[in-house]
Amino acid sequence: MARIIIAEDEAHIIRILSMWLQRNGHEILEARNGKMALDIARREEVDMLITDVHMPTMMGFELVEKLRTELKKNIPVMVLSSSCERGRIETTLAPHNVRVYPKPFTPSRIVAEIDDMLSAHAV
């Protein structure tokens, strides 16, 4: 049972992820861009962030950086990426301890991955 922010400008993706994660008992806080996600994280207690990279207003890189340096939240972060950018994303976000997950994804597998990350962090 975790509170998870999903930052994604694609409505269908937010919807399908929310459905699966809620089915697993998690609470989902939706944000359509990075700025919205940061605002949520600032005011709410959350356990995890799932974010896309390319979003209007604030890109995923900036969101993660601000989460770590300004809000000083050490929660698990999963970044959804196209595989052609994976290397660049991993390099850029290496200091921030994130896990990069490729798109397109299979909902069941990504949900399992998210549960693993939450369990590992809890330990």
Partner 1 sequence: MSFMGKFKRFWTAEEVPRWFGLSLVLVYLVGLGSVGYLTVCQVREESAVEYFNTQRYAAHSLATQLATIASQYDNPASVQASGEYQRILRKFASNVHTHSLRIVGDSRRVYASIIADEIGQLCRRVPGTAAAANITNPGHIFELPANDERGAAHYFQTKIAQRVTPHEPKTSPATDNNDSHPSTDTKDPNDSKTTTATTQIVEAIYLEAVLPAEPLRTTAFVDYAGALSIALVVIGVLFVLYRGLRTQLRSVSAIADRLQSPIDAIKGDLAALRMADTQDAVATAWNQLVELAADLQEEVNRAQANRELSAALAGSSGTVLAKALNAMPDGLLHFAHEGRLEYINAPACRLIGCSEDEAKSTTLGTLKSNDLGKRILEVIQKALRTDGTFEAYNEIIETADVDNAYRTWVIPLQGGRQEGEAIVLVRDVSQALRADRSREDFVAQVTHELRTPLTNIRAYAETLSSGMFDDPKMVTDCYNVITKETRRLSRLVDDILSVSQMEVGSIELELGDVDLKQLFSDTVTDLRGLADEKNIDLQIQPPSKAGRIKGDRDKLSVVLINVIGNAIKYTPEGGHVIVGCQVAEDEITLTVKDNGLGIDSADHVRIFEKFQRAEDPDVQNETGSGIGLYTAREIVRRPGGDIDLMSEKGQGSTFLVRLPYEESRADAMSVSREA
Looking only at residues 78 through 97 of this chain, which bind partner 1 when binding is defined by CB under 8 A?
Answer: 82, 84-85
Smaller CB separation from partner 1, 82 or 119: 82
Report in angstroms how near the CB of residue 101 gets to partner 1 at its nearest: 11
- On whether the CB atoms of residues 79 and 100 are closer than 8 A, the answer is yes
Residues in a beta bridge with 87: none
Instruction: Give whichever of 53 and 117 is closer to partner 1, judged by the CB atom.
Output: 53
Q: How far is the CB of 86 from partner 1 (least distance, A)?
A: 11
73/103 with CB nearer partner 1: 103
Q: Closest separation between CB of residue 73 and partner 1, Å?
A: 26
What is d(CA 33, CA 18) in angstroms, rounded to the nearest whole number? 16
- Regarding 61 and contact with partner 1 (CB under 8 A), the answer is no
Q: At what angle do helices 86-93 and 60-69 cross, to 10 degrees?
A: 20
Sequence-distant (≥ 6) Cβ neighbours of residue 32 within 8 angstroms: 7, 8, 9, 11, 14, 55, 56
Contact 53, 85 (CB under 8 A): yes
x/- binding map, residues 8-47, to partner 1, per CB under 8 A?
Answer: -xx-xx--xx-xx--x---------x--------------
